Structure 1
Amino acid sequence: MILKGSERGGAIQMARHLENTLDNEIVTVHQIRGFVSDTVAGALSEAYAISQGTKCRNFIFSLSLSPPETEKVPVGIFEKAVSDIENKLGLAGQPCVIVFHEKEGRRHAHCVWSRIDGNAMKAINISHYKLKLRDISRELYLEHNWQMPQGLMNSEERDPLNYSYEEYQQAKRAKANPKIIKQTFQDCWAVSDNVITFGNALEERGYYLARGDRRGFVAVDWRGEVYAISKWVGVRTKEVQVRLGDPNKLNSIDKTNRKLATKFTAKLRQYAEQEVSRHNDDATAIVKRRQSLTAFHKQKRYELETLQEERRIAETKQRVSKLPKGLKALWFRLTGKYAKIKSQIEKEERNSATRSSNDIQKLIEQQLAERRILQHEIKRERQRHTLAFKKLNRDIGKALNATPDEQEPFNNRENTRNQAHRSARRRTLDYS
């Protein structure tokens, strides 16, 4: 189970993230503990209000718990992991919120604690939490016999194509795969040794070097999206400067965009827009299928929870009827039979709660399996999408660097490509 934690502020932003039903298909509030409010937004607002009595700005500790994609992980494993983590980090007994997110056939959890000790009115110091979380993560993989990622076994073997949330959002705006963008920049970096060769390699793939406002060297694509070189290549800013030299020798972002605009003919722009529009249109069908499946799953869970609640009420009434009343109750108390009946009732209640929990878990696992089948189709389309956009970037890169006469064959083949595509079977892509 991959564990990622951070100290942070921003109660409202955190609540929005936890309750985000746009990027997450199913959101389940599992537990709100130690707060007066029974809503996520209200609980985190309480944490913020209490923090105002201190000088602490990062008043909450946020943790995500992501198990392996194909493993069946009951709620109890998440709960035990949360308990072990808060004990090791010194957060035991602190108010917290636990929320489950389901997306793309995967289920993960978020746990947010208040760092403010209400009695001492000061923030709890959480030292070396990244190392502690790494150790707990390894223990979880070993305990449950899960396949441990190479990067977790040895930090030097981490996937160089891993991307941050900010990089994911930027790739999402560009309607591209963040790993492919990162691979493109790293490939260009690997085959170049100066600013000229690096710039040429990028231009062949539809990216153009420019001088950034803050980051020094950046690249601009034909959409106008700006990419920080050091971030996407995965090297330090100083290393970029050593290889590429002085960024002031390059055009600014605005000037680069204006230069691209002059080369971006109406025909070329139409071609690019058609390619983008084509994939957007293709996405509609599978998005509808995903939404329909999500709605069906939510309905089934609601029906099961309703049925369980009705059964719980009926069984509770039945169990209560077993308790004697009046003088008989007094006699049973004197003889000890009342305690035995009460103990049996409590045992039945626990068994009933366990049965209900197991039924919900079984339904969730079944639905996740169904969602993963659909996700396999989405992944296949993402691959097609990736190849198509890599070719689009290369085509546009070549066209922008070509003379007007050299662009003519490119413009003429557009109709042929459109006709071929319309005759092919079209599926959907989605990076949301």
Structure 2
Amino acid sequence: MILHGNARGGGRELAIHLMRTDENEHVQVHDVEGFMADDVRGAFQEIEALAKGTRCQKPLFSLSLSPPKDANASSKDFEKAIAKAEDALGLSGQPRVIVFHEKGEHRDRHCHVVWSRIDAETMRAIPMPFNRLKMRDVSRELFIEHGWTVPRGLINKAERNPLNYTLEQYQQAKRTGRHADELKADLQAAWAMSDTRAAFEHALQDKGFRLARGGRRGFVVIDHQEEVMSLPRWLGVKTKMVRERLGPEKDLPDVESAQAQYARDMAEKMGGFAQELRTRNAARLAERSTQKQALIERQRAERSETLQRIEERRIEEVRARQAKFPNGLLKRAWSWLNGENARIKRENEAEATKAQMRDEAEKHDLIQHQREQRLFFQRRMEERRDKLSQQHQEISRERADFEARANLSREERKQAFMDRRQAASGQRRGPEPER
């Protein structure tokens, strides 16, 4: 069902619109729940009266639910859809009104639901962030659940075909894996949006699957890790229904052929990833080289400035110590006789020694600080290089693995598949793969 909704005020106008018989051939008030009144206008008046105790300007949330043309949706189907919607929107338990309309050449039936947004206990309006996204998700779920063709505007754009992945997407998908509920949702979505074999195969490829001919179950799908799944079992339909839509399975490639072709495609994709890593590595090495040279130039300037400052300070201090000695011949002679000259000399020597130690300490601290900067930079370079090397080795191993899989015999392929399953961590949820 297509869901459209928005928060609004104007309860009187909305009630008039919902009850118009000049625009609708049939109007049915299906439910008035949570109100003292038993009619639409009275219910909306109660909502607006309650909202006067708050600062909310839009106390109503109006939602329309429209099934596909010619779809035979029952009242129970609408009620289930409404329950899903109000749960997603955070309106469960709120007073509501449900009205059915029928109009048009085919007497198309759709539904309007209006909730109160005002929480009577807290006297606050229920916040409804991202309500459009939530309604879109519920709408997509309803199309898949009923087996209706999913409109293109509701198709999830986050495709899971590994041949369309970027390097980061592939690594993330490999780390996180797919859960059974995701697999089932992907297969059911592809089934719901396709009415021919060609359309179904295209939809499967967008989700990362290939259609093939199995042994016992006829129709199977495989993923890039060579998992084989019975299509009817995962769709929850009979094989006869699958055959009616897709035609005879004899024209499909067998499992081994489909797996070999998928392995060749994945090997080619891994080759592209390997080249991308090499290009990235070369670019980062050039960037790091530029950054390293900039660091060296910055340190050289800092060191030159510091040494110049220390030297200028040393000269000033030497002059200050020299100025302590008396001027004039008689004063100097007298300072020699009374020991003042010797005292000043000892004091200056002590100050000079202390100043020299201070200057050496400052130089040492600067050298150590700059050394730590270079070591930190070098460690970052090595860590990044090791990470890129590890990624390249992993991609290369996987490429070699896919290339090897493309040329395996049936028994070798089966044994390799079992070895990979035993090595994988965790247990698969959902129906077991078909062989």
TM-score by length of 1: 0.35
Higher relative contact order (CA 8 A, sep 6+): 1
Report the structure number with the largest CA radius of gyration: 2
TM-score by length of 2: 0.35
